[in-house]
Amino acid sequence: MAAATRKRPAPLGTSSCSPAAAAGKKRARYEFGSIYNYEKLEVLGEGTYGVVVKARDQRTGETVAVKWIRPEGGCAPDLRAVYREAGCLEGCRGHPSIVQMKEVAADEVTGDVFIVMEFVGPSLESRLTRALSGAETRAAMRQLLRGAEKLHGAGTVHRDIKPDNILVAPGGALKICDLGMAVPARPAGEPYPEETVAALWYRAPELLGGARNYGPAVDMWALGCVMTELLIGEPLFRDAETEDDVLHRACDLEYAMESTDLAFEDMPELSEAGREVLRGLLSFKAEKRLTAAEALAHRWFDEEDAPLSPALCSQPDRSGFINFI
Model pLDDT for residues 102-154, shown as the tens digit of each residue: 999 999 888 889 999 999 999 999 999 899 999 999 999 999 999 999 999 99
Binding site as annotated, residues? 67
Predicted pLDDT of residue 33 = 94
**Residue of higher predicted confidence among 269 and 116:** 116
Question: Strand, helix or coil at 295?
Answer: helix
User: How many Cβ atoms are within 10 Å of 260's Cβ, its own excluded?
Assistant: 10
Write down the domain spans for the chain.
33-118, 124-312
Residue 48: predicted pLDDT: 59
For 29, how many CA atoms within 13 A lie in the half-sphere containing its CB?
A: 10
Q: Binding site for ATP: which residues?
A: 67
**Fold of the 124-312 domain:** Transferase(Phosphotransferase); domain 1 (1.10.510)
Superfamily assignment of 33-118 in CATH?
Phosphorylase Kinase; domain 1 (3.30.200.20)
Active-site position among 107, 112, 160, 219? 160
In this structure, the strands spanning 183-184 and 38-46 are unpaired
Percent of the chain with pLDDT over 90: 69
Mean pLDDT of all residues belonging to the chain: 85
| Residue 261 pLDDT level (bands cut at 50, 70, 90) | confident
Q: Output 100-106 pairs: Cβ under 8 A, ≥24 positions apart.
A: 102/64, 103/33, 104/30, 104/32, 104/33, 105/32, 105/33, 105/34, 105/35, 105/37, 105/38, 105/66, 106/12, 106/18, 106/19, 106/32, 106/33, 106/34, 106/35
Ranking 140-149, 152-161, 180-189, 283-292 by mean pLDDT, the lowest is 180-189
Reference 199, options 325, 47, 46; nearest CA is: 325
Cβ of 285: how many Cβ atoms within 10 Å?
10
Residue 229 has pLDDT above 90, yes or no: yes
In this predicted model, what pLDDT tens digit does every residue of 185-225 receive, in sequence order? 999 889 999 989 999 999 999 999 999 999 999 999 999 99
**Separation between Cα atoms, residue 127 and residue 308, nearest integer Å:** 11
pLDDT digits (tens, 9 = 90+) for 11-34: 323 333 344 444 443 444 568 999
CB contact at 8 A, 235 and 286: no
Nearest to 185 by CA among 215, 207, 160, 211: 215
305 is catalytic: no
Amino acid at 237: F
Residue 197 has what pLDDT? 93
Digit-coded pLDDT (tens) for 29-57:
568 999 999 999 999 887 656 789 999 99
pLDDT tens by residue, 296-307: 999 999 988 888
What's the whole-model pTM score?
0.86
CA-to-CA distance for 28 and 271, rounded, in angstroms? 52
Separation between Cα atoms, residue 50 and residue 117, nearest integer Å: 15
Calpha distance 323→325 (Å, rounded): 6
